[in-house]
Amino acid sequence: MTRLTLPLSILLLASILHGCTGFMAATNDGAVDEDYGERTMGISIEDSSIESKASININRADKALDKDSNINVNSYNLIVLVTGQTPTPELKSKVTDVAGKIRHVRRVHNELEVSAPTDFGQRTSDTYLSAKIKANLLTNGKIDSGRVRVIVENGSVYLMGLVTQEESERVVSSVQEVSGIKRIIKVFEYIDNKISHR
């Protein structure tokens, strides 16, 4: 075990130093601006953790949430979006409470429909619609599709990401080109103020 530990430690140290060298080289040419449109690696990891914890805690909060509901949790920059279906308004409210109590969650957008879960056909249709929308965004030269998360649930399209108002309008315009959408809901976090105060 000791023979393996030393080479791994050296490799890890070399990787860290290489990263530092690259950062120093970048800073030598001038000031480094923060990209407000990108999540940090730490926030991305925290978002994944929030999604896992929320899904587990919601299912454990009530049997009906686990057995009689279709619930999807997405977190982007510590803002949580809940979509799907649940049988009663009380269960919907409980989901908001459970998700909101998770550490580091800044806000919860609860878009659950009070209804029976969608069937396999609808979920297949949602997957196909999501793929079409993502392809449309990807081929649009005026949009950085990597900064936009698309969630489709029962024909409704939810858009998450860190964008300016202008970028938001371009994204929505591109999404509207795709047929079969019931409605578009923006769950964007706007970064105009951060950019203007640089």
Residue type at position 20: C
Q: Which residues contact 162 (CB under 8 A, 6 or more apart)?
A: 36, 37, 38, 39, 76, 77, 147, 188, 189, 191
Cite the residue boundaries of each domain of the chain with CATH code 3.30.1340.30. 120-196
Give 94-122 pLDDT, tens digit per residue. Answer: 999 999 999 999 999 999 999 999 999 99
pLDDT digits 0-9 by tens, 45-87: 999 999 999 999 999 999 999 999 999 999 999 999 999 999 9
In CATH terms, 120-196 corresponds, of 3.50.50.60, 3.30.1340.30, 3.40.50.300, 3.40.50.11540, to: 3.30.1340.30
pLDDT of res. 193: 77
Three-state SS at 53: helix
Q: Are the C-beta atoms of residues 36 and 195 closer than 8 Å to each other?
A: yes
Q: How far is CA 186 from the centre of its chain?
A: 12
Distance from C-alpha of 56 to C-alpha of 103, rounded to nearest angstrom? 14
Architecture of domain 41-114: 2-Layer Sandwich (3.30)
Q: Give which of 92, 85, 93 is closest to 113, Cα–Cα.
A: 85
CA 2 – CA 164 distance, rounded (Å): 52
SS3 content of the chain, % helix, strand, coil (to 5): 50, 20, 25
* Cα–Cα distance, 177 to 108 (Å, whole number): 29
